[in-house]
A and B are shown apart, each in its own frame.
Chain A
Amino acid sequence: MSLARQSVSALRALLVKGEIKPSDILDDLFAEVGSREKDIGAFLSLDPERIRAAADLADLSLPLGGIPIAFKDNINVLGEPCTCGSRFLAENYRSPYDAGVTRRLRDSGAVFFGRTNLDEFAMGSATENSALQKTNNPAAPGHIPGGSSGGSAAAVAASFVPAALGSDTGGSIRQPASHCGVVGMKPSYGRVSRYGLVAFASSLDQIGPLTRTVEDTALILQCIAGHDPLDSTSLPVEVPDYSVDLKKGVEGLRIGIPREYFADGLDPAVRAATEAAIRHLQEQGAEVIEITLPHTEYAVATYYIIAPAEASSNLSRFDGVRYGHRASQPADILSLYQRSREEGFGPEVKRRIILGTYVLSSGYYDAYYNKAQKVRTLIRRDFENAFTQVDAIVSPVAPSPARKMGECTNPLEDYLADVCTIPVNLAGLPAISVPLPVAGLPIGLQIITPHLQEALMLRIAHAVETR
């Protein structure tokens, strides 16, 4: 079997035994990239020479020694581009520093392998908002890979790389993982440092891995989790061992099924695959309990106030002065700001900045932003109440499989499809998408656990995967 199709853990075993070298892995990965990347478009930049040079220096005694990992192009790596899928940063920006996760993966021996495509500034769920290129779904050609971490999901699904990092603000790791048939995990808010992740919505953003197995997700989470003094929202709490209980099974666990996530609009194939997975968990000894998360219907509206509000504030730093695009020959400083931003940002980013500015503006703050923060409390409490009855919650990731590319004409349509993933970010919980065995388009199962209970989540995910 080509090394390109092997998992991180299998590659590590071969490397440690001395049966292969990091360069052997790269030979097989570059062969896959060379033959199919032109049809997929997962990468915004990839420098084989630099990757080979880094691999030759990899310390194989480290936990991820010699393992190539791709980065979503909104995570800073010293000296590399960081376009965020935007014209604003595509011209001449080079990262002057390493993100927190970059430093941790460097210390774990990983080899940085290319920068993956995304919706501009991670705003979108199809990767069609990238200003730089389109990305095709390797598991379903002609369909979107999902988004915003669509390039990372596509790269892993296409066997271009065994693992990638993404970022998840409202489902941007889990939904593309589901659409491309790979594993994608959003850690608890505060579990992983956001330092050096280009901020979209700071109270929701979290970096996480995309891999082909649950075991690999556990390995990478182990390396990136933990407190970072440079991110005051990262939690100073101990990181448990994520692999030790992975194979313990689900016997005796109470699994909650939220009825609001199985509404009438659910695609029949998604419903069938999800129900089959629930039956499987039951056969393995889990107790299945129907639960209610009554404020689910308000989650999308709440998110589309809070996320744009935070984005409008975060993206004010893109002013054409210190880095990124600057309009030519502005009449004065105001027109430098206005024209640089007009030329540098794409339509979805502008829409969200305007929406965020509006909900924070004088006279509307209480009606929109303050109200949304209170509804966020209700959504968080829904989960707290549910977790007094159950150990974990399972649900679909998206109401339907990947749609065709170019089929969305109305932004609100795509927003509403985030209904199963958004509440998790609003509540700061960990969640994962695990691929289900299906004949047609890929479908993932979402598993949600209480705050910082990633180990339990991974254990259930492993039971789903080994069906």
Chain B
Amino acid sequence: MSQPHMDVRRIATLARLELSDEEVVSFSGQLDAILGHIEQLSSLDVTGIEPTAYTFPIDAPMRDDTPWQSLPQSALLDNAPDQAQLQVRVPKVVTDA
């Protein structure tokens, strides 16, 4: 069995994390060690075994489609890093042509 290796920079980009070069180096070693431990599952035969997502069956109940318990706009906007005109403000998303 070959020692697993993760391309940490690529995965971090997928996870929207801009890592420093030092973090890439330290995380690579640590994550490869963790993957090495996780690798032991490959020796286990799970043919015919159903996966468990939750330990008991969970219904997805529908509630009545009536307005209920909405939070005040101001309480939510107060937590926003930047706001204007009762909306959350973000940097320009669409660039000029």
Q: Which residues of A are in contact with B by a Cβ distance under 8 Å?
A: 92-94, 96-97, 189-190, 203, 229, 232-233, 235, 297-298, 300-302, 304-305, 312, 316, 319-326, 330, 332-339, 341-342, 345, 347, 350-351, 353-358, 361, 367-368, 370-378, 380, 410-412, 415-416, 426-428, 451
Q: How far is the CB of B31 from chain A (nearest CB, A)?
A: 6
CB-contact partner of B55 in A94, A229, A338, A451, under 8 A: A451
User: A372 CA to B79 CA in the complex, in Å?
Assistant: 37
CB-contact partner of B38 in A229, A233, A301, A336, under 8 A: A301
- Could you give 23 example pairs across A and B, Cβ below 8 Å? A92-B79, A96-B78, A189-B56, A229-B61, A229-B63, A235-B56, A297-B40, A298-B41, A304-B34, A321-B90, A322-B76, A323-B81, A332-B92, A334-B16, A335-B18, A339-B18, A354-B8, A355-B31, A357-B11, A358-B6, A374-B52, A376-B51, A378-B44
* Chain A residues, Cβ within 8 Å of B18: 335, 338-339, 341-342
Contact present for B27 and A380 (CB under 8 Å) = no
Contact present for A374 and B50 (CB under 8 Å) = yes
User: Across the two chains, which residue of chain A brings its CB closest to B27?
Assistant: A351
Q: A-B pairs with CB below 8 Å: how many? A: 177
The secondary-structure label for the interface of chain B is loop
Over the window 49-83 of chain B, the binary record of Cβ atoms lying under 8 Å from chain A Cβ atoms (1 yes, 0 no) is: 11111111011110100000001100110111110
Contact present for A323 and B79 (CB under 8 Å) = yes
* Chain A residues, Cβ within 8 Å of B38: 301, 304-305, 368
| Number of B residues, CB within 8 Å of A | 55
B3 on the A face (CB < 8 A) = no
Contact present for B33 and A325 (CB under 8 Å) = no
* Chain A residues, Cβ within 8 Å of B54: 189, 203, 233, 428
User: A422 CA to B13 CA in the complex, in Å?
Assistant: 30
User: A176 CA to B92 CA in the complex, in Å?
Assistant: 46
User: A372 CA to B38 CA in the complex, in Å?
Assistant: 9
User: Across the two chains, which residue of chain A brings its CB closest to B18?
Assistant: A338
* Chain B residues, Cβ within 8 Å of A233: 54, 58
Contact present for A341 and B16 (CB under 8 Å) = yes
Contact present for A428 and B56 (CB under 8 Å) = yes
B86 on the A face (CB < 8 A) = no
The secondary-structure label for the interface of chain A is helix
User: A372 CA to B64 CA in the complex, in Å?
Assistant: 36
User: A235 CA to B93 CA in the complex, in Å?
Assistant: 43
Query: Known contacts A350-B19, A367-B42; can you find 20 more A-B pairs with CB under 8 A?
Result: A94-B79, A189-B55, A232-B58, A235-B56, A298-B41, A301-B38, A302-B41, A312-B15, A321-B88, A322-B79, A326-B82, A332-B91, A335-B18, A350-B27, A355-B34, A361-B14, A371-B46, A376-B51, A377-B51, A411-B30
Q: Which 9 pairs across A and B sit closest by C-beta, in order of nearness?
A: A428-B55, A373-B51, A326-B81, A338-B18, A323-B79, A96-B75, A374-B46, A357-B15, A376-B52
Contact present for B17 and A353 (CB under 8 Å) = yes
Contact present for B31 and A351 (CB under 8 Å) = yes
User: A110 CA to B32 CA in the complex, in Å?
Assistant: 46
* Chain A residues, Cβ within 8 Å of B20: 342
Task: Indicate whether A353 sits within 8 Å of B15 (C-beta atoms), given known contacts A94-B79, A233-B58, A412-B30.
Answer: yes
User: A316 CA to B59 CA in the complex, in Å?
Assistant: 25
Q: How far is the CB of A317 from chain B (nearest CB, A)?
A: 11
User: A378 CA to B47 CA in the complex, in Å?
Assistant: 11
* Chain B residues, Cβ within 8 Å of A427: 55
* Chain A residues, Cβ within 8 Å of B19: 342, 350
User: A334 CA to B14 CA in the complex, in Å?
Assistant: 11
* Chain A residues, Cβ within 8 Å of B14: 357, 361
B25 on the A face (CB < 8 A) = no
Contact present for B31 and A380 (CB under 8 Å) = no
Task: Indicate whether A451 sits within 8 Å of B79 (C-beta atoms), given known contacts A298-B44, A301-B41, A350-B23.
Answer: no
Q: How far is the CB of A315 from chain B (nearest CB, A)?
A: 9
User: A342 CA to B20 CA in the complex, in Å?
Assistant: 9
Contact present for B31 and A354 (CB under 8 Å) = yes
Contact present for A322 and B55 (CB under 8 Å) = no
Contact present for A354 and B11 (CB under 8 Å) = yes
User: Across the two chains, which residue of chain B brings its CB closest to A338?
Assistant: B18
* Chain A residues, Cβ within 8 Å of B11: 354, 357-358, 361
Contact present for B37 and A304 (CB under 8 Å) = yes
Q: How far is the CB of A293 from chain B (nearest CB, A)?
A: 15
